[in-house]
Amino acid sequence: MNTDIMTTNPYNNIVDVAEYYQLEYWANKFGVSPERLKSAVRAVGVSADAIALYLKK
């Protein structure tokens, strides 16, 4: 695990659900379950902005 990533800007607006710590971080940030986050990534890709818009629907 690259600890530099964890101490800088959280993942540069890219959601990598294959990384457990990112999955947990973004699921908590968006207030959804990890499964819901994975579904959103499958639907709209890895951009945090696109995922946020998708989850607001």
pLDDT digits (tens, 9 = 90+) for 6-30: 444 555 799 999 999 999 999 999 9
pTM of the model: 0.78
Strands (E), the chain: none
Collapsing DSSP to helix, strand or coil, 46 comes out as coil
Work out the number of other CB atoms within 10 angstroms of the CB of residue 9.
7
